[in-house]
Chains A and B, each alone.
Chain A
Amino acid sequence: MSTQVQERETDTEAEETSDQQQRRRSETGERDDMRERAETDLSEADETVRIKVFRYDPEVEGKKDPRFDTFEVPFRKGMTVLDSLIYARDHFDSSLTFRHSCRQAICGSDALFVNGRQRLGCKTQMVDLEWPVRIEPLPHAEVVKDLVVDMEHFYDQMEAVEPYFQTNDLPDGELEEQRQTRENREKVKMSTRCIWCSACMSSCNIAAGDNEYLGPAAINKAYRFAMDKREGADIKEHRLNIIEQEHGVWRCQTQFSCTEVCPKDIPLTEHIQELKREAVKSNLKFW
């Protein structure tokens, strides 16, 4: 792992210093250079892993038809799916497009469909997968280019549940903290771990067929705030009004797909079920 990081750092430095030059460099020269680097790495590696990557680019003639490209990537201990993609992009095809940022399962950029399952590229070890590894963009989302999907709809659903703290019940002192009890914090703990990667939304069969369904991530976000006792009764009622609508919690049919793919192990179905019970309780009248 350490050698890999070092190598990548030097790569970046080199690219930065000769940025202008590289831009001027002809495409053939660049490709030769890439092939040379790849060949050296390949000869040094004991083992290679074959990755099949979904390719699609509507803006380039000849790439408009979706296809799979195969890359032979030198395998290193500790290699993740994201590492292999970065390698393929840096050494074989610089047009290979995918989102990534933090590489430590915090930013939620690189949710991919790897070997038929939604996973975070940076959190998935190559050794844990069956080879060759098939990498596709998230299902049930429109593909913009290669592995990049349009996340707009997902973000709209997240915004719909007002994913921020609201309260009418402010403390008296200006500098006084708004404290949460330990028990209450424990209650919402898992739901706060969401990284907005959209893996759950992509795995949900219901969300695929119902464009208005809030989806597991948004409902989990609603749970995080609806269960926060600092928000007060009025705001909880307002939140329940949003989630108990026809396309809210009641669309969930407990397939558990979201819970299974969540890279942060959030018990999504459990949270949705709890909100269903809250919605029933808020509407039950015994008089």
Chain B
Amino acid sequence: MSQSYDRGLIEDFGRWQEFSAGMWAWIFHKFTGWVLIGYLFTHVAVLSTATVDGATYTQTLQGLESLLIVRFLEVGLLAVAAFHILNGIRLLFVDLGVGLEAQDKAFYAALIGTAAIAVASIPTFLLGAF
């Protein structure tokens, strides 16, 4: 054949509505992984203010906690960590070859678990924020 047609990546994220459970689990796991790495840097930056002195550290934390957006981000961070942990357990079983036929259900369970943990954390994180 003289020529052939390369359709590029149109079949990938353009078809997100047709993604299966395993595919969503993979995407969320990657996403939450990167968010956690990003968080680690901010975490180190905030903690390092303690090297100046105790008062600076307290002031930094109080300043951050007084922002409403930070309170919401904390709920989000917990959700991200919870999903990464729960799906990580799912992947552990996948790696061991245990219960592979239930991997989609395990993903849904991880989602429900994440939602439950995030909702349960709202009173703690948002107390006194408003």
Contact = CB atoms under 8 A, between A and B. Distances in A.
Interface of A: 56, 58-59, 66, 113, 116-117, 139-140, 142-145, 150, 205, 208, 253-257, 259-260, 267, 269-270, 273-274, 276-277
B42 interface: no
A255 B12 CA distance: 13
A66 B3 CA distance: 13
Interface residues of B, number: 27
B97 A58 contact: no
A254 B4 contact: no
Q: 6 shortest A-B CB distances, which residue pairs?
A: A256-B22, A139-B11, A142-B4, A58-B3, A143-B5, A116-B18
B73 interface: no
A143 B3 CA distance: 9
Interface of B: 1-7, 9-12, 15, 18, 20-23, 25-26, 91, 94-97, 100, 103-104
A257 B23 contact: yes
B1 A144 contact: yes
Given A116-B18, A140-B11, A273-B97, A205 B23 contact: yes
A270 B98 CA distance: 9
B97 A277 contact: yes
A48 to B, nearest CB: 26
A255 B25 CA distance: 7
A150 B5 CA distance: 10
A282 B95 CA distance: 16
A276 B95 contact: yes
A143 B1 CA distance: 10
Contact of A208 (B12, B25, B95): B12
A56 to B, nearest CB: 5
